[in-house]
Amino acid sequence: MAFDLDEQLNGSRVGFFTDTSICIGCKACEVACKEWNQVPEDGLDFTGMSYDNTVGLSADTWRHVAFVEQRTPMGRQEPGVGDMDFRWLMSSDVCKHCTQAACLDVCPTGSLFRTEYGTVVVQEDICNGCGYCVPACPFGVIGKRETTGVAAKCTMCYDRLPAGEEPACAKTCPTDSIQFGDLDELRERADRRLRQVQEAGMTSARLYGRDPDDGVGGMGAFFLLLDEPEVYGLPPDPVVTTRDLPSMWRHVGVAAAGLLAGIAATAWRRR
């Protein structure tokens, strides 16, 4: 499936590679996304659970920087401190623009569509607010706006791409943690970066969503993580939630046929 999509787009598929090892948690990407896309504010109050005040992705937060505070062994004993230390893991999360996007499968109006760049975009003026796409997303990315009732998520700044402009979040990132470009080239760059990070001693580092053979056929937005995906709030083995949709419809058809047959038989007996 991943190969088919890349071939169909003739090498024009673009995406994000987010290197969490150099994310500083500045949230400039969140601000740039909201400003360019005119996304409403979504939580400016202190939550009491974290230094992060936006909590997660939603219809009103299309980029979200997670602050993960993690206990780590120091390898030595410090007076009054013990042998444990803390480290921050920062990661800017976003819609994955999946190769096999379940949200596309369930949208009844065509509001969700695949662009010529391989990204997945919501046309809010066509959305009927059914909400089928919300539980279909294995990453919990897409949501419905309380004010309008329609679905909304990252568009990868679809309106900037025809002009040759990169998405606002990538352009704003001060460390190049968020990188945008040709997806194949980004995968090669990520492979090199992973080797570099692991050789530097971060042996638990791994790429998440880079492999076209994974459960969603590869992601248009993938990550270099320094720990397990669960640490960052990501599912370890994401799957296409609509993978059984054809068989489900077959079962529905059989059940419907049986129901109609029963109704017809009952009506015949009453004649």
Residue 162, marked binder: no
Residue 160, marked binder: no
Residue 201, marked binder: no
Residue 17, marked binder: no
What are 60's two structure tokens?
Answer: 């009103």
Query: Secondary structure of 137-176 in the HEC alphabet?
Result: CCCCCCEECCCCCCEECCCCCCCCHHHCCCCHHHHHCCCC
Residue 29, marked binder: yes
Q: Are strands 14-19 and 221-225 parallel, antiparallel or unpaired?
A: parallel
Residue 157, marked binder: yes
Residue 180, marked binder: no
Contact 230, 88 (CB under 8 A): no
Residue 169, marked binder: yes
Residue 98, marked binder: yes
Can you name the residues that pair with 121 across neighbouring β-strands? 113
Can you name the residues that pair with 122 across neighbouring β-strands? 112
Residue 103, marked binder: yes
Residue 257, marked binder: no
Residue 154, marked binder: yes
The DSSP secondary-structure symbol of 58 reads: B
Nearest to 58 by CA among 140, 120, 147: 140
User: Measured between alpha carbons, how far is 2 from 251 in angstroms, rounded to an integer?
Assistant: 28
Residue 65, marked binder: no
Can you name the residues that pair with 70 across neighbouring β-strands? 87
SS3 of the chain: helix, strand, coil, percent, to 5: 30, 20, 45
Residue 40, marked binder: no
- Binding-site residues sit at 23, 26, 29, 33, 95, 98, 103, 107, 127, 130, 133, 137, 154, 157, 169, 173
**Binding residue ranges for [4Fe-4S] cluster:** 23, 26, 29, 33, 95, 98, 103, 107, 127, 130, 133, 137, 154, 157, 169, 173
